Amino acid sequence: MRVVVSGGAGFLGSHLCEALIRRGDSVRCLDDFSSGRTANLAGLLQEPGFECTPCDITERFRLSGDIDAVVHLASPASPRDYLARPLQTLAAGSRGTENLLRLAVRRRARFVLASTSEIYGDPAVHPQREDYWGHVNPIGPRSVYDEAKRFAEAVTAAYRRSTGADTGIVRIFNTYGPRMRAHDGRVVSTFVRQALDGEPLTVHGDGGQTRSLCYVDDLVRGLIAMIDSPLPGPVNLGNPTELTVLELAERVLRLTGSRSGLRFLPLPEDDPVRRRPDITRARETLGWQPLVPLEDGLRHTVAWFAARPERPKVPS
């Protein structure tokens, strides 16, 4: 297949590009490098089937050649990024999504939207199924990401109904693994960085809030299954194994051998208390479920962070 991946230089996007190249597809990566990094593409730049085009998908752009699929991952996705760039986040979900939908319609290509578990907000239903409409504060600080993705889903569904576009929506739950940025504000990267640097692990609230963590290789398999499927979705992609933030901190300390302590901070506004996907639909329609145990995934992630030539103490 000939696949366009927006946000292809990011954490998740670069892993997807690699997996597509490995299976013999050609890939056109679009990225404005506001949070993506050239280093993430180091293993791809010499591949004959790979091309990277610096591009802001919220502006008008042209791509030549045939296209079989468009995968829209481009958006600030970590709390630190979308809180620092609220207007850019909203633009990526609105103008960016529609620009890529138009591209897919013109080329008669499959369009896959990477939505998020954040559309469920601080859920009143647990675990979260795709037919749950969510519990989101539409004007809170996190809403710039939540509502951007909710709009992206709405416009994707509207294009499917109005134009007959071949579209699919996946809702991605917490994903972790190599190439996460050390200061992106996500819980796994934050804990691993702090443990390796001998800093206290910052736990928000009492640490009793839960998360469900999916290793990046598993998540990419689910994305590719959706690319190859005609399903409209939405389909949850995530690991249904739930653990508390305190339990995660303890595992990271054990795997790193760190003697760091814990530092408790106030819970951020609108931070979800519980988050766990119901992946029945993914199992039944895509034949997908996560396979990598948390212990193995965390071990790979710790090893990657530990092997970096430097771990910056300030955001980069």
Kindly list the catalytic residues: 145
**CA 118 centroid distance within chain:** 11
Q: How far apart are CA 136 and CA 225, in angstroms?
A: 29
Quick check: 70 and 112 in contact, CB under 8 A?
Answer: yes
**CA 97 centroid distance within chain:** 15
297-to-28, 218, 239, 302 alpha-carbon distances in Å: 28, 10, 12, 9
Quick check: 134 and 123 in contact, CB under 8 A?
Answer: yes
Quick check: 144 and 94 in contact, CB under 8 A?
Answer: no
Q: How far apart are CA 242 and CA 97, in angstroms?
A: 31
Q: How far apart are CA 250 and CA 227, in angstroms?
A: 37
Q: How far apart are CA 294 and CA 78, in angstroms?
A: 20
Q: How far apart are CA 135 and CA 253, in angstroms?
A: 33
Token pair for 109 = 């290509």
Whole-angstrom distance between the N-terminal and C-terminal Cα of the chain? 35
176-to-33, 122, 145 alpha-carbon distances in Å: 20, 21, 19
Q: How far apart are CA 122 and CA 136, in angstroms?
A: 7
295-to-2, 8, 61 alpha-carbon distances in Å: 35, 27, 43
Give, as one character, the DSSP assignment of residue 68. S
